[in-house]
Amino acid sequence: MFPLLLSATSVFLAAMLFVAGAMMLTTTVGLRLTLEGFGSGATGVILTCQAIGFVLGTQIGPPLIRRVGHIRVFSAFAALVCVAALLHGAVVNGLLWGALRFVAGMCGSVMMVVIESWISAHATPNTRGRVMGIYMIVYYASGSAGQFLVGVSPPEDYRSFSLAAGLLVLSLVPLAMTGLAAPAVANAKRMGLAALYRLSPMATVGAFAAGFCLSSFYQLAPVSMARLGVQTTTVAHYMAAAVFASMLLQFPMGRLADRWDRRKLIACIAIAASLSASIVATAGRTSLGALFAATILFMALMASLYPTCLGQMHNRLQSENPVAANAGQLLCYGLGTCIGPLLCGVAMGAVGPSGLFLTVGVVLAAYAAFVAWRLRVIAETRVMAAGMQPSVVVMGESTPVMAQMDPRVRSEVLP
């Protein structure tokens, strides 16, 4: 386990720099749009372009990796997203920024395919859960650091975008200089949603549910808190607590996934996360402390769903095509990020701030029911397979009479 992590240090360092820069850029863009007087509708459309680009990146990543390899693809898209970050600060234009968010989302998706497939390809089935848990801790810690870097200079200052661009382009250095062998690219092919579903229905639907719920929370939780009348500083502390909670169960859940049936663990996570979302929906009406505590529980569970589903998908593939597995899971996750905030926003408009967590709770409950149904189907299939085994009649030892009846025995040896 430790030698594996030590050898993958360059990959984790690249992920750390990339996530910090990407998170800083996303937050800075949102703040700058507000300062420039863009309406909520225009801001929503511009930020949604990033999710659309993210989905496209999952489709173009595998063919490019198969053609030129992991390191070259990562380096090229790191340079491209760096240019996009710099252009954000150079010109303020709604159409241009929508295109730049699309490019940033596409580049980020491809770079994540490279990083996650690289990590998964070098992990064994017995260590994959813990390795992915450590990767997710690095991911959320880097994202939190990127948020803190937003305050280094004001959003209207060009240096904010320059710092984000510098982190993004620096992320290509560790991979470009690594001595760790890149994963094989011969099987780096795309897999459609139908093929992914046939391979692992739980993992495919789970990735969509994770994208739906997490993106809805990160985009709409600040709005929900504001409508509850909470001060801006408290909202910032609330979001920081949510990011911190996302790291709490990553390694314990990964270790449990390496020792237990991942399908049953996914079912437990979905049920517990659904119940905790319902608690958050009601806790907001009682006290701020209860809201913080319930949200920490919810995010600790919710953040562990995607890596567990990803590990299940890799177990089904048996490391034959890690690029396709990661690209497919990110595609499902990206589709969830496109749909989740829209539906949850409608729910919040209908029932108020609690609509966010009520919708998330319903989605997770539906997913838990789906997982329970799949577990039942698997159990019934195994019973049927066991019942169809051919029966074998065990014969006793041959007797002299049986020997006489056997035409293969020569007559001269018979009495």
Q: What Rg, from alpha-carbon coordinates, does the chain have?
A: 26
Contact present, 159 and 31 (Cβ < 8 Å): no
Q: What is the count of structural domains for the chain?
A: 2
Question: What pLDDT is attached to residue 207?
Answer: 93
Residues 112 and 230 in one domain: no
pLDDT score at 151: 72
pLDDT of residue 277: 93
Rounded Cα gap, residues 183 and 9, in angstroms: 15
The verdict on residue 81 lying in a domain is yes
- E-strand ranges in 148-300 read none
- Domain assignment present for residue 268? The answer is yes
Q: Are residues 74 and 99 in the same domain?
A: yes
Within-domain flag for 296:
yes
**Residues 225, 368: one domain?**
yes
Residues 125 and 155 placed together within one structural domain of the fold: yes
Do 346 and 369 lie in one domain? The reply is yes
Domain hosting 233: range is 189-387
Closest of 139, 138, 145 to residue 163, by C-alpha: 145
Same domain, 127 and 160: yes
**What's the confidence (pLDDT) of residue 402?**
36
CATH of the domain at 258: 1.20.1250.20
The Cα 172–Cα 174 span in angstroms is: 6
Instruction: Compute CA distances 335 → 207, 211, 353, whole Å.
Output: 9, 7, 24
Q: Is residue 243 part of a domain?
A: yes
What pLDDT is attached to residue 298? 94
Distance CA 358, CA 347 (A): 8
Same structural domain for residues 39 and 94? yes
Q: Which residues contact 329 (CB under 8 A, 6 or more apart)?
A: 196, 203, 204, 207, 306, 309, 310, 313
Query: Which burial class, exposed, middle or buried, applies to 389 when counting CB atoms under 10 A from its CB (0-12, 13-18, 19+)?
Result: exposed
d(Cα 33, Cα 296) in Å, to the nearest integer? Answer: 29
Residue 405 lies in a domain: no
Give me the pLDDT at residue 50, please: 85
Q: Two tokens at 372?
A: 């329970």
- In this predicted structure, what is the pLDDT of residue 394? 47
Same domain for 156 and 22? yes
Q: Kindly give the confidence (pLDDT) of every residue in the chain, 415 residues in length, as a single tens digit, with 9 standing for 90 and above.
A: 555 555 578 888 999 999 999 988 887 887 788 778 777 667 778 878 888 898 898 888 888 888 888 889 999 999 999 999 999 888 888 899 999 999 999 999 999 888 888 887 777 767 777 888 888 888 888 888 887 787 778 878 888 899 999 999 999 998 888 777 777 665 555 667 888 888 888 999 999 999 999 988 887 887 777 777 777 678 778 888 888 888 888 888 888 888 888 889 999 999 999 999 999 988 767 778 888 899 999 999 999 998 888 888 877 776 566 777 778 888 899 899 888 888 888 888 888 888 889 999 999 999 999 999 988 888 877 777 666 655 444 444 444 433 344 444 444 433 3
